[in-house]
């Protein structure tokens, strides 16, 4: 699997100067083909949705619905993409979302109102990311293990805080933010946050030294270190970033569901990884695009939406989802190789 | 490391400590509400022989299971002659087996077991029975009747049946009535049973058709997601049955966000938030069908009766029954006050 992809990895340290020579161009061209094939998959889904349920699927409300549902996992996926591009993995994202959403909706936090809830979700996310980052960067732990440990303890802490009960949000301004009245020009605020996070993520990965360092660390950490990059600090920042994204996602989830529950964010880690992989991010690091990951998320959300509108049951949904993941990756590989 | 003593470092450090202090204050969940409980008088309050009851359940990771533990504890406290040995809940079969073995070794008089997985824990039930410790099997049933002396639990089929009949009676005069179902986790047998019961009840009403069904997974998040899609798919319908009040919090949120109020909704399980909404009567939620967590309190009653060699008060038998299926009562505005204290959070 990773064999095919090794040539671009070897090139990565070289492409640190932005306007690099031809390998860099070849890489962007290839990325574009991948993105185009993803758009093709999405277009095919939209056609299927449009044919099977024209009235309900091709509807502004449905578009708002799909984008809103995508925004929580979408924000998580942006952070996850950075981590995977750097050659790491963050298995704790779902648990961090759960812990942050639960911590932000306790009776005590809710007394601080809107800002209290927002601040708490973000800080808890960042705090968990900081612990992950310290363990991985300075404790020299394998990301898989460090974040697995975080997964377990964050879920445990979330359960301890809630005692298993559902914490309903009573702060009206938070609830209002998820309502139809707060849409600006027909765009739900949650979707706006998702869009802003995506744009910042794209800029950060493609237009800054931070992004190039991330790619370099993922491509070949040793070469990156020799080239003068502080690899450990870079890793710390990346897990912080992932934690921050989880914190933002937790706030969005609190707004969307009007509650905090320790079961929140169930299996987000797998959804986010799957979306990033479908989007063309290499699991071994060194390559990945934000646009691809976001398209991956949208493909998943659209599939779920089409299934629900057609009243297909869970069994069929799960079988088809697996098949579509395989198909999307195969189509991408095909197109990437023929060009 | 010079950075750590710089002014920037100091500022960040102070901010971090401040945020930490703020956050620690934010974990408190103290509120004035009482936990889910049971106020029914104990069946036979006359103290008898001392009985030690061992209680083993799964990890209380959601409101209903938490209420199960609370009910067992508070019921045991009502009896002067009962000592309750309660284990740390676990969803891991092996861990739960270990906990039950410990209870057997401690030679408790009676065991009350709510297995994480009934089939997987059958052997430990058999083992306890062979060690002459009678087992009260709570809700999730063991594979073999030899593994328990008495089974007490809820009725998933009956939940569906009663929800279907309630909706059917409300809609019986409406032509071409449309009903949708928001089910629980489809991987569980209990979800299939609830759906079968619901479908069976609706068959009695030829004017009603179930037009859509989607499965959520008992979480608020999934309830919100699936319900918003259902609302998008069905521009008009007359009634909704939601299997579970926890996911119902999310479903109600989706209904609110979509601005819909043109149908009646029936919930399931009996959460406090659902009871409050039914009492307030200002939304679509008009009723909920019980899957009562008070069964844990009744299980303690049965275990005590077993330990003291008595039957159940109010029945003519000398022994407690071998099997007790609880009724899934429909709670609506008329009777909600009676059930309010049993609602779980």
Average pLDDT over residues B106-130: 92
pLDDT at B27: 80
Average pLDDT over residues A51-78: 93
Best mutation target, A59, A113, A259, A271, to test chain B (most B CBs within 10 A): A259
Report which secondary-structure segment, H or E, holds A285: none
Question: Taking CB atoms and an 8 Å cutoff, what residues of chain B touch A308?
Answer: 214, 226, 229-230, 232-233
Which residues span the domain enclosing A94? 37-338
Average pLDDT over residues B85-97: 87
Provide CATH code, domain B156-290.
Answer: 3.40.50.2300
B288 pLDDT higher than 90: yes
Nearest CB to A311: which of B26, B213, B256? B213
Do A107 and B257 make contact, defined as CB atoms within 8 angstroms?
A: no
DSSP A282: -
Q: Which residues pair with B215 in a beta bridge?
A: B183
A262 touching B (Cβ < 8 Å) = yes
A252 pLDDT higher than 60: yes
Q: Which two tokens stand for residue B126?
A: 């058999």
A295 pLDDT higher than 90: yes
Average pLDDT over residues A81-109: 95
pLDDT category, A338, cuts 50, 70, 90? low
Do B273 and A166 make contact, defined as CB atoms within 8 angstroms?
A: yes
pLDDT at A12: 41
Nearest CB to A164: which of B61, B226, B259? B61
pLDDT category, B43, cuts 50, 70, 90? low
Percent of chain A surpassing pLDDT 70: 89
Average pLDDT over residues B192-208: 95
pLDDT at A207: 93
Domain segments of chain B as ranges: 51-154+293-327, 156-290
B231 pLDDT higher than 80: yes
| A201-260 residues touching B, CB cutoff 8 A | 253, 256-259
Least confident piece of the model among A314-328, B89-103, B118-132, B273-287:
A314-328
pLDDT at A321: 80
Best mutation target, B232, B272, B283, to test chain A (most A CBs within 10 A): B232
Q: Summarize pLDDT for B124-133 with one digit per residue, the tens.
A: 999 999 999 9
B15 touching A (Cβ < 8 Å) = no
Average pLDDT over residues B114-122: 89
B42 pLDDT higher than 80: no
Average pLDDT over residues B324-339: 94
pLDDT at B40: 59
Contacts of A26 (CB under 8 A, 6+ apart): none
Other beta carbons less than 10 A from residue B226's beta carbon: 23
Cα radius of gyration (chain A): 20
Nearest CB to B273: which of A53, A159, A168? A168
* Closest CA relative to residue B30, chosen from A108, A110, A163: A108
CA distance linking residue B193 with residue B183, whole number of Å? 11
pLDDT at A73: 96
CA distance linking residue A304 with residue A316, whole number of Å? 11
Do A258 and B253 make contact, defined as CB atoms within 8 angstroms?
A: yes
B235 touching A (Cβ < 8 Å) = yes
Query: Considering Cα of B225, then B226, then B227, then B229, what sign does the dihedral take?
Result: positive
Cα radius of gyration (chain B): 23
pLDDT at B13: 74
Do B63 and A166 make contact, defined as CB atoms within 8 angstroms?
A: yes
A17 pLDDT higher than 50: no
Least confident piece of the model among A150-159, A218-227, A313-322:
A313-322
Percent of chain B surpassing pLDDT 90: 70
| A36-65 residues touching B, CB cutoff 8 A | 53, 55-56, 59, 61-62, 65
Mean pLDDT of chain B: 89
Q: Which two tokens stand for residue B192?
A: 């299939």
pLDDT at A35: 83
Separation in Å, CA A74 to CA A92, A120, A271, B332: 16, 20, 10, 40
pLDDT at A324: 77
Q: Which two tokens stand for residue A166?
A: 């559902």
Q: Edge-to-edge, what's the strand order for the sheet holding B135-138?
A: B82-86, B51-56, B110-113, B135-138, B150-153, B323-325
Other beta carbons less than 10 A from residue B327's beta carbon: 13
A83 pLDDT higher than 90: yes
- Give the number of domains in chain A: 1
B2 pLDDT higher than 60: no
CA distance linking residue B287 with residue B264, whole number of Å? 9
Residue A120 · residue A103 · CB < 8 Å? yes
B44 pLDDT higher than 70: no
pLDDT category, A16, cuts 50, 70, 90? very low
Nearest CB to B257: which of A55, A167, A179? A179
Do B66 and A164 make contact, defined as CB atoms within 8 angstroms?
A: yes
Residue A193 · residue A252 · CB < 8 Å? yes
Q: Which two tokens stand for residue B92?
A: 């891991």
Q: Summarize pLDDT for A39-53 with one digit per residue, the tens.
A: 888 999 999 999 998
A23: closest CA of chain B, how far (Å): 38
Contacts of B104 (CB under 8 A, 6+ apart): B54, B111, B127, B128, B131, B133
Is the model's pTM score more than 0.80? yes
* ipTM confidence: 0.81
CA distance linking residue B221 with residue A283, whole number of Å? 28
Mean pLDDT of chain A: 87
CA distance linking residue B293 with residue B75, whole number of Å? 12
Least confident piece of the model among A144-153, A314-323, B65-74, B206-215:
A314-323
What's CA A243's distance to the chain center, in Å?
11
A291 pLDDT higher than 90: yes
Asked if the structure places residue A4 within a domain, the reply is no
Do B220 and A65 make contact, defined as CB atoms within 8 angstroms?
A: no
| End-to-end CA gap in chain A | 19
CB pairs under 8 A between A and B: 150
CA distance linking residue A311 with residue B233, whole number of Å? 8
A21 pLDDT higher than 60: no
Average pLDDT over residues B279-291: 95
CATH number, residue A96:
1.10.3470
pLDDT at A18: 46
Nearest CB to B30: which of A65, A107, A262? A107
In CATH terms, are B51-154+293-327 and B156-290 the same topology? Answer: yes
Residues in chain B: 345
pLDDT at B37: 62
Q: Which two tokens stand for residue A336?
A: 């990437």
B41 pLDDT higher than 80: no
Do B61 and A124 make contact, defined as CB atoms within 8 angstroms?
A: no
CA distance linking residue B232 with residue A61, whole number of Å? 8
Contacts of B130 (CB under 8 A, 6+ apart): none
Question: Taking CB atoms and an 8 Å cutoff, what residues of chain B touch A178?
Answer: 253, 257
Report which secondary-structure segment, H or E, holds A86: none
DSSP A168: E
pLDDT at A314: 82
Q: Summarize pLDDT for B264-276 with one digit per residue, the tens.
A: 999 999 999 999 9
pLDDT at B24: 81
Domain B51-154+293-327, architecture per CATH = 3-Layer(aba) Sandwich (3.40)
Q: Which residues pair with B264 in a beta bridge?
A: B239
pLDDT at B253: 94
Do A56 and B218 make contact, defined as CB atoms within 8 angstroms?
A: no
The three-state (H, E, C) secondary structure of chain B, written as one string: CHHHHCHHHHHHHHHHHHHHHHHHHCCCCCCCCCCCCCCCCCCCCCCCCCEEEEEECCCCCCHHHHHHHHHHHHHHHHCCCEEEEECCCCCCHHHHHHHHHHHHHCCCCEEEECCCCCCCCHHHHHHHHHCCCCEEEECCCCCCHHHCCEEEECCHHHHHHHHHHHHHHHHCCCCCEEEEEEECCCCCHHHHHHHHHHHHHHCCCCCEEEEEEEECCCCHHHHHHHHHHHHHHCCCCCEEEECCHHHHHHHHHHHHHHCCCCCEEEEEECEHHHHHHHHHCCCCEEEEEECCCCHHHHHHHHHHHHHHCCCCCCCCCCCCCCEEECCCCEEECCCHHHHHHHCEC
Contacts of B11 (CB under 8 A, 6+ apart): none
């Amino acid at each position: 699997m990773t064999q095919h992809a090794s040539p671009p990895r070897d090139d990565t340290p070289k492409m640190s100067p932005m306007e690099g020579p031809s390998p860099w161009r070849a890489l962007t061209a290839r990325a574009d083909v991948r993105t185009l094939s993803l758009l093709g998959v999405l277009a095919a889904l939209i056609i299927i949705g449009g044919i099977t349920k024209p009235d309900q699927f091709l509807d502004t409300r449905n578009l708002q619905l799909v984008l809103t549902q995508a925004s929580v996992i979408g924000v998580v996926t942006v952070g996850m993409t950075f981590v995977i591009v750097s050659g790491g993995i963050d298995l704790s994202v779902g648990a961090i979302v759960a812990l942050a959403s639960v911590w932000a909706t306790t009776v005590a936090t809710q007394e601080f109102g809107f800002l209290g809830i927002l601040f708490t979700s973000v800080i808890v996310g960042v705090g968990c990311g900081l612990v992950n980052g310290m363990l991985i960067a300075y404790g020299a732990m394998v990301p898989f293990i460090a974040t697995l440990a975080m997964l377990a303890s964050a879920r445990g802490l979330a359960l301890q805080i809630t005692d298993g009960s559902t914490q309903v949000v009573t702060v009206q301004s938070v609830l209002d933010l998820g309502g139809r009245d707060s849409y600006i020009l027909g765009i739900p605020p949650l979707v706006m946050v998702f869009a802003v996070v995506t744009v910042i993520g794209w800029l950060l990965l493609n237009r800054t030294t931070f992004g190039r360092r991330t790619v370099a660390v993922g491509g070949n950490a040793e070469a990156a270190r020799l080239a003068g990059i502080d690899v450990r600090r870079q890793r710390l920042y990346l897990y912080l970033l992932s934690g921050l994204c989880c914190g933002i996602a937790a706030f969005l989830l609190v707004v969307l569901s009007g509650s905090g529950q320790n079961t929140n964010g169930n299996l987000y880690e797998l959804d986010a990884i799957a979306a990033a992989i479908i989007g063309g991010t290499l699991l071994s690091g060194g390559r990945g695009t934000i646009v691809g990951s976001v398209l991956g998320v949208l493909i998943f959300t659209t599939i779920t939406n089409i299934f629900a509108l057609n009243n297909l049951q869970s069994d069929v949904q799960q079988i088809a989802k697996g098949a579509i993941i395989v198909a999307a990756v195969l189509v991408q590989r095909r197109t990437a190789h023929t060009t | 490391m010079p950075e750590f003593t710089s002014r920037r470092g100091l500022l960040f450090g102070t901010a971090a400590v401040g945020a930490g202090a703020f956050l620690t204050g934010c974990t408190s969940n103290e509120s004035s509400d009482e936990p889910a409980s049971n106020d029914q008088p104990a069946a036979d309050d006359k103290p008898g022989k001392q009985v030690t009851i061992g209680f083993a359940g799964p990890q209380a990771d959601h409101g209903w299971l938490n209420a199960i533990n609370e009910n067992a504890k508070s019921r045991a406290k009502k009896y002067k002659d009962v000592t309750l040995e309660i284990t740390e809940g676990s969803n891991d079969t092996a861990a739960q087996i270990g906990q039950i073995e410990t209870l057997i070794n401690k030679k408790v008089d009676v065991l009350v077991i709510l297995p994480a997985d009934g089939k997987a824990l059958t052997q430990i039930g058999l083992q306890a029975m062979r060690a002459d410790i009678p087992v009260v099997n709570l809700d999730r049933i063991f594979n073999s009747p030899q593994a328990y002396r008495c089974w007490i639990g809820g009725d998933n089929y009956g939940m569906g049946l009663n929800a279907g009949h309630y909706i059917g009676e409300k809609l019986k005069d409406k032509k071409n009535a449309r009903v949708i179902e928001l089910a629980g986790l489809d991987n569980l047998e209990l979800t299939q049973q609830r759906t079968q019961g619901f479908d069976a009840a609706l068959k009695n009403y030829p004017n009603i058709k179930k037009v859509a069904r989607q499965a959520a997974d008992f979480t608020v998040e999934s309830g919100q997601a699936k319900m918003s899609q259902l609302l998008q798919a069905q521009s008009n319908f007359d009634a909704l049955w939601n299997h579970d009040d926890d996911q119902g919090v999310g479903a109600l949120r989706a209904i609110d966000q979509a601005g819909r109020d043109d149908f009646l909704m029936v919930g399931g399980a009996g959460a406090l938030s659902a009871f409050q909404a039914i009492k307030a009567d200002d939304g679509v939620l008009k009723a909920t069908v019980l899957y009562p967590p008070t069964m844990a309190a009744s299980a303690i009653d049965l275990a005590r009766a077993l330990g003291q060699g008595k039957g159940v008060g109010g029945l003519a038998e000398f022994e407690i029954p071998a099997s007790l299926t609880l009724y899934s009562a429909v709670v609506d505005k008329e009777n909600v006050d009676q059930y309010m204290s049993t609602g779980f959070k």
